[in-house]
């Protein structure tokens, strides 16, 4: 077992479950027309039933017989009873219903939907429930319209922040040669309901919009299309200028506007269902409309106008921080400051894509203050599935709990409670009465590694992202249970400990890296390993010392009114709550407050002792993960067990390094003795400062 099959392993079930399965799927009847999509659904059901049932695949039949698995749409099943028809009519173009019912007097298992893609999603949902041994959901439809992966993959196959090998997109070989992995990629994503993918890095290159690359993207689109997945591209704002086809990239220049219109027409001639553009502009050196003293809205709307006739969209990223080096501001404030004034100024087919937090995919951040602050603009969530700041693919950190924590955060924008971030992105606000476009994007953690994600447990993060994009209010624990059962087999001896490991893992990483609201203390550029002492980078806000502000008097970033007042960007009720360290959740304490080392924590410890306590707790949790996994030797298949065990050894070392380096450094600043019973870091601070990580993977 090498992990290639992800959660679609379809391993033989226990005998009673097998007997039940065989009774439910004696034959497969497709009442809808055979199309690439419905054929994929039938093939997946055959594969799944054969695997889990431990026998031959059920044959496809035309007549409905007892025990048939029937796939159909309202149109193809005129005899469907009125109640089911009504139910279906509420499920939209991607929903499905699963039902044990009677058709033509025969007991059958029905997978019904309004469209082919709904049938494919329904087939996957039924297989998921069968593998996990749970009752299939009766009916489901996605709460968000756009559920996208964002690949930070370069055209030379280097993956920025990728820790699972090279890019799966072999641009050199395309379009003639398409890897069979593309189909498995499509199956895996469709099984979660992911319906779009941005193929290339947000730090984009002009070449991706040349005819040769459009043809390559079209070949990928052809493979993904039957699985309901649309292709998008990251567009570089200065493309026409850099290709020397215009002499400016100013969005108000008629020549530039005409160039993009022509380009959009050309793309749609080749990829008729092309999704649209993702754009990183005026951020970290990328070109953008501000180069011409135009606004983000001017830039986004120009591209949107080119795509609108083809129903394409623009996802304009809000990840910006002021370009001037050396200017002392709070980076956490900047996206809000640039975007909030533009609320309501974006064209109808623009979505603003906002990272979950205001800094940058840290192990923990409070939710981004833009959520709830732009009621007239559809906001898309951007999560990072690849673990740039959470231990790459060597450490286990289940992000389901992190995504859930963000999504269930109360923005306190309303008069009473709510809306939560999940409700905001689901379109809780209205755009002058218009329903808002909705979406969620996840920066992919996929590469050519045999197991796709580098660490077997990182598959859970891809999985959790997809399930939460379908339903942002789903439970991270329930998702972990499903994943564990499908990935390791539905046996409580394995699933219970695996779910426990997943559920404790992200907090462990927060504890041993950046507890109590600390953030951005990772090594320069590669973002691996501890480097809280770094203070010599060109921009103040690239330095860890800028973020933790540790000094003799205390530690933490004062974002209240006495500091940068970034807090004022949140709803007044929440800002009031977080203005006082006593009513600020402990997990965000040093994000919002600069406090003396002797500050008394609710635990009775001083802040200094509490920080150390968290570091020690993090190391203990990493060891705990290892102990729990060791106990599964012989229960989990040998290869995957050994591969995870090796990585857990690294994780424990990594946790110890973080703990020792951070305690040594903070002690050098605080000048305080270690509390009783705390083990001193085994090496002096200089030793930790001297550790370097040259050639760390995934650099930008
Ligand atoms: C940062 C990454 C960098 C990305 C940037 C972004 O370090 O590689 O280009 O985010 O999101 O976290 O644009």
Average pLDDT over residues 670-691: 98
Q: Which residues contact 224 (CB under 8 A, 6 or more apart)?
A: 182, 185, 186, 197, 230, 231
pLDDT of residue 308: 97
Contact 643, 456 (CB under 8 A): yes
Q: Are residues 125 and 154 in the same domain?
A: no
Residue 392 maps to a domain: yes
Mutate to test the pocket of ligand 1, among 200, 360, 522, 696 (most ligand atoms within 8 A of CB): 360
- Catalytic residue, chosen from 388, 426, 558, 610, is 388
Q: What SS3 class is residue 412? A: coil
pLDDT of residue 327: 56
Q: Are residues 193 and 88 in the same domain?
A: no
Which of 140, 166, 187 is where one domain is finished? 140
State whether the Cα torsion 433-437-438-440 is positive or negative.
Answer: negative
Task: Point out the least confidently predicted range of 71-75, 319-323, 454-458, 506-510.
Answer: 319-323
**Ligand 1: centre distance to CA 323 (Å):** 15
CA 241 to chain CA centroid, Å, is 33
Angle at 340 between CA 547 and CA 357, to 5 degrees: 35
| β strands within 415-488, DSSP E | 439-443
What's the token pair of residue 188? 């895996």
- Give the C-alpha separation, 114 to 85, whole Å: 10
pLDDT of residue 322: 76
Q: Are residues 220 and 256 in the same domain?
A: yes
- Asked if residue 372 has pLDDT above 90, the reply is yes
Residue 698 maps to a domain: no
Tell me, letter by letter, the H, E, C secondary structure of 167-207.
Answer: CCCCCCCCCCCCCCHHHHHHHHHHHHCCCEEECCCCCCCHH
Q: Which residues contact 287 (CB under 8 A, 6 or more apart)?
A: 236, 237, 238, 249, 281
Residue 699 maps to a domain: no
Contact 131, 52 (CB under 8 A): yes
- Give the C-alpha separation, 431 to 378, whole Å: 8
* pLDDT tens digits along 165-223: 999 999 999 999 999 999 999 999 999 999 999 999 999 999 999 999 999 999 999 99
- Catalytic residue, chosen from 66, 81, 265, 284, is 284
Q: 459-470 vs 476-488: helix axis angle to the nearest 10? A: 130
Residue 581 maps to a domain: no
- Residue positions counted in the chain: 700
Q: Is 324 a catalytic residue?
A: no
Q: Are residues 518 and 416 in the same domain?
A: no
Angle at 572 between CA 570 and CA 578, to 5 degrees: 70
CATH of the domain at 335: 3.20.20.80
- Asked if residue 159 has pLDDT above 70, the reply is yes
Q: Are residues 133 and 166 in the same domain?
A: no
Residue 342 maps to a domain: yes
Mutate to test the pocket of ligand 1, among 205, 285, 388 (most ligand atoms within 8 A of CB): 388
Residue 505 maps to a domain: no
Average pLDDT over residues 640-649: 98
Residues lining ligand 1, judged by CB closer than 6 Å?
Answer: 160-161, 202-203, 280, 284, 319, 360-361, 388, 700
Domain ranges, residue 61: 15-140
Q: Which of 408, 406, 232, 220 is nearest to 316 (CA)?
A: 232
Structural domains counted in the chain? 3
Q: Is 360 a catalytic residue?
A: yes
* pLDDT-based confidence at residue 330 (cuts at 50, 70, 90): very high
**Ligand 1: centre distance to CA 16 (Å):** 49
φ, ψ (nearest 5 deg) of residue 554: 155, -165
Q: How far is CA 341 from CA 348, 377, 435, in A?
A: 17, 11, 21
- Give the C-alpha separation, 382 to 673, whole Å: 42
Q: Are residues 209 and 334 in the same domain?
A: yes
CATH of the domain at 130: 3.30.379.10
**Ligand 1: centre distance to CA 650 (Å):** 25
Q: Are residues 315 and 448 in the same domain?
A: yes
Residue 8 maps to a domain: no
Contact 316, 353 (CB under 8 A): yes
Q: Are residues 302 and 448 in the same domain?
A: yes
Average pLDDT over residues 411-431: 86
Which of 140, 166, 184 is where one domain is finished? 140
Q: What SS3 class is residue 633? A: strand
Average pLDDT over residues 84-101: 96
Q: What is the position in ligand 1's atom list of the atom closest to the CA of 161?
A: 8
Average pLDDT over residues 551-558: 98
**Ligand 1: centre distance to CA 326 (Å):** 20
Q: Are residues 130 and 181 in the same domain?
A: no
Q: What is the position in ligand 1's atom list of the atom closest to the CA of 286?
A: 13
Q: Is 284 a catalytic residue?
A: yes
Q: Are residues 101 and 162 in the same domain?
A: no
Residue 92 maps to a domain: yes
**Ligand 1: centre distance to CA 690 (Å):** 26
Q: How far apart are the first and last CA of the chain?
A: 33
- Asked if residue 146 has pLDDT above 90, the reply is yes
- Asked if residue 326 has pLDDT above 70, the reply is no
**Ligand 1: centre distance to CA 7 (Å):** 29
Q: Are residues 99 and 153 in the same domain?
A: no
Closest C-alpha residue for ligand 1 atom 1: 360
pLDDT of residue 78: 87
Q: Are residues 379 and 351 in the same domain?
A: yes
Return the number of other C-beta atoms located less than 10 Å from residue 491's C-beta: 15
Sheet strands side by side (includes 96-103): 59-61, 27-30, 68-73, 106-113, 96-103, 139-140
* pLDDT tens digits along 604-636: 999 999 999 999 999 999 999 999 999 999 999
Which of 112, 140, 168 is where one domain is finished? 140
* pLDDT-based confidence at residue 465 (cuts at 50, 70, 90): very high
């Amino acid at each position: 077992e090498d992990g290639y099959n992800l959660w679609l392993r379809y391993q033989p079930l226990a005998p009673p479950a097998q007997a039940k399965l065989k009774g439910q799927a004696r034959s497969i009847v497709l009442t809808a027309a055979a199309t690439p999509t419905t054929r994929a659904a039938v093939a997946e059901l055959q594969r799944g039933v054969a695997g889990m049932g431990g026998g031959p695949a059920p044959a496809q039949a035309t007549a409905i017989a007892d025990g048939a698995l029937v796939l159909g749409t309202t149109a193809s099943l005129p005899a469907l009873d009125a109640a089911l028809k009504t139910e279906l009519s509420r499920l939209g173009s991607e929903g499905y219903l699963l039902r044990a019912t009677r058709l033509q007097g025969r007991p059958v298992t029905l997978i019904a939907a309004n469209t082919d893609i709904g049938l494919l999603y329904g087939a996957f949902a039924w297989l998921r429930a069968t593998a996990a041994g749970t009752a299939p959901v009766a009916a489901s439809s996605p709460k968000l319209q756009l559920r996208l992966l964002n690949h930070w993959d370069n055209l030379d196959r280097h993956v920025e922040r990728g820790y699972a090998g090279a890019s799966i997109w072999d641009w050199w070989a395309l379009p003639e040669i398409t890897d069979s992995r593309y189909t498995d990629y499509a199956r895996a994503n469709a099984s979660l309901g992911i319906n779009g993918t941005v193929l290339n890095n947000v730090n984009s290159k002009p070449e991706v919009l040349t005819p040769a690359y459009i043809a390559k993207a079209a070949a990928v689109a052809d493979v993904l299309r039957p699985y309901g997945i649309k292709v998008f591209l990251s567009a570089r704002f200065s493309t026409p200028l850099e290709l020397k086809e215009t002499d400016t990239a100013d969005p108000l220049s008629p020549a530039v506007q005409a160039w993009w219109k022509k380009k959009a027409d050309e793309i749609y001639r080749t990829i008729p269902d092309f999704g649209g553009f993702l754009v990183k502009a005026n951020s970290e050196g990328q070109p953008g409309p501000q180069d011409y003293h135009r606004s983000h809205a001017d830039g986004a709307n120009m591209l949107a106008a080119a795509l609108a006739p083809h129903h394409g969209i623009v996802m304009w990223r809000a990840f910006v921080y002021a370009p001037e080096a050396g200017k002392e501001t709070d980076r956490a404030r900047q996206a809000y400051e640039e975007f909030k004034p533009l609320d309501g100024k974006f064209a109808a087919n623009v979505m603003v894509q906002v990272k979950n937090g205001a800094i940058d995919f840290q192990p923990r951040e409070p939710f981004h203050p833009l959520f709830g602050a732009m009621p007239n603009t559809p906001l898309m969530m951007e999560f990072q599935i690849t673990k740039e700041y959470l231990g790459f693919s060597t450490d286990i950190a289940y992000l389901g709990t992190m995504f859930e924590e963000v999504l269930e955060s109360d923005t306190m924008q309303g008069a009473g409670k709510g809306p939560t971030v999940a409700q905001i992105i689901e379109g809780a606000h209205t755009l002058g009465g218009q329903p808002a476009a909705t979406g969620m994007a996840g920066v992919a953690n996929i590469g050519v590694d045999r197991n796709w994600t580098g660490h077997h447990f990182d598959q859970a993060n891809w999985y959790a992202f997809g399930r939460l994009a379908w339903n942002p209010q789903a439970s991270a624990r329930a998702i972990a249970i499903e994943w564990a059962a499908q990935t390791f087999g539905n046996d409580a001896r394995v699933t219970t400990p695996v779910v426990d490991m997943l559920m404790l893992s992200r907090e462990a990483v927060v504890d041993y890296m950046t507890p109590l609201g600390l953030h951005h203390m990772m090594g320069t550029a590669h973002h691996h390993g501890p480097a809280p002492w770094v203070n010599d980078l060109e921009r103040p806000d690239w330095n860890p010392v800028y973020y933790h502000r540790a000094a003799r008097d205390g530690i933490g970033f004062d974002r209240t009114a006495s500091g940068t007042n970034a807090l004022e960007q949140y709803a007044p009720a929440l800002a009031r709550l977080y203005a006082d360290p006593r009513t600020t959740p402990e997990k965000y304490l040093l994000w919002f407050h600069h406090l003396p080392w002797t500050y008394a924590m609710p635990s009775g410890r001083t802040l200094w002792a509490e920080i150390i306590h968290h570091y020690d707790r993090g190391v203990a949790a990493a060891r705990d993960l290892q102990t729990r996994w060791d106990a599964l030797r012989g229960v989990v298949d040998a290869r995957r067990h050994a591969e995870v065990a090796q990585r857990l050894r690294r994780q424990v070392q990594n946790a110890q390094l973080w703990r020792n380096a951070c305690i040594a450094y903070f002690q050098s600043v605080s000048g305080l003795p270690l509390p009783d019973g705390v083990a001193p870091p085994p090496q002096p601070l200089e030793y930790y400062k001297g550790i370097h990580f040259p050639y760390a993977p995934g650099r930008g």
